[in-house]
Structure 1
């Protein structure tokens, strides 16, 4: 398991990056012990709301092998509309790792950052389970319009995503082990 923490178009955020690296190492250790599965290689990217859509869609295009410019521009517009409400996203990568993109504008302190980081790391652990990565990639391809799923497959996909979200929200209590002040948030 390899962990990298970087920034994307965030000048002057060196102290934030150092804090994020420290918290990410501790969060990976805590989540790896508490959640079933195997932690894949994780890339954490800190970015602002303005650039969140660029990073997430680029990763989705690479994972889904999408080269159609019309599809890419449509997906980018959609993601830009959602960016304001997004605190973080976990996206499976084609090489077997997971990209976690975190919106630094949504995190005023270490406690809220730790909660989001733990939530997204739980999603990263879920990708190591049987057939989850393939299902997530099929869902990305469906959402982009590259390869459509049947209605039955879409309902199953939505049900699994909802179940995984409940699990991730249920594990957010682990953030208080990463940052003691996270319990107050």
Structure 2
């Protein structure tokens, strides 16, 4: 059984949104688990604003690499994450504990239908993380990006190629969100 938690980070007055997100997430987990190859890991879904998204993503990535990241590089990673967070609707990050953290930028979701599409997309990524070699490849790329351990150019190219393939798969399954939206109105 998948352990699912839905919370907010640095958001106030979003109790109704959080309840809707929890209802949608419970149904989306079941739907994606049946439709996409892999094993659904434990999930922590956090609704937040762009700044909170950058903070949580950077902290999770540093923890995933083993925590031995230079403070200057960590600060640079946070600045870069802040730039990307303004444009990103959500992000899925594997956790050191084996679960997945799904950060949702609440500013990009005007209604439950948009949230459902984003949620399905990110849950597909969570399923992908459970596949053989994917988590290790992501950790290797992160360790390279954060200056902990270099990876070869070949590894970097292969990572980018597989990342594009995984994105295409996630976009290709977004149609499943159509089955969730009526549940959000309930």
TM bin (shorter chain) = over 0.9
- Following TM superposition, the consecutive aligned residue runs of length 4 or more in structure 1 with deviations greater than 6 angstroms are none
TM-score by length of 1: 0.95
Conserved 8 A contact 2:45-2:102 = yes
Aligned to 2:173: 171
**Partner SS for 1:36:** coil
* Equivalent residues, number: 182
Alignment match, 1:131:
133
Contact 2:48 2:103 in 1 (8 A): yes
SS in 2 for 1:90: strand
Q: 2:85 aligns with which of 83, 86, 93?
A: 83
Change (3 A) 1:181 1:6: closer
Q: Deviations over 1:108-165 (max 9, x none)?
A: 0000000000000000000111111111111111121211111111000000000000
**Local SS of the residue matching 1:85:** coil
The one of 118, 121, 124 aligned to 2:120:
118
TM-score by length of 2: 0.95
Cα distance change on mapping 1:44 and 1:108 into 2, 3 Å: same
Structure 2: gaps (5+ residues): none
SS at match of 1:72: helix
Match in the other structure for 1:151: 153
Q: Please give the root-mean-square deviation of Cα atoms over the aligned residues, in Å.
A: 1.3
Contact 1:115–1:172 (CA<8 Å) still a contact in 2? Answer: yes
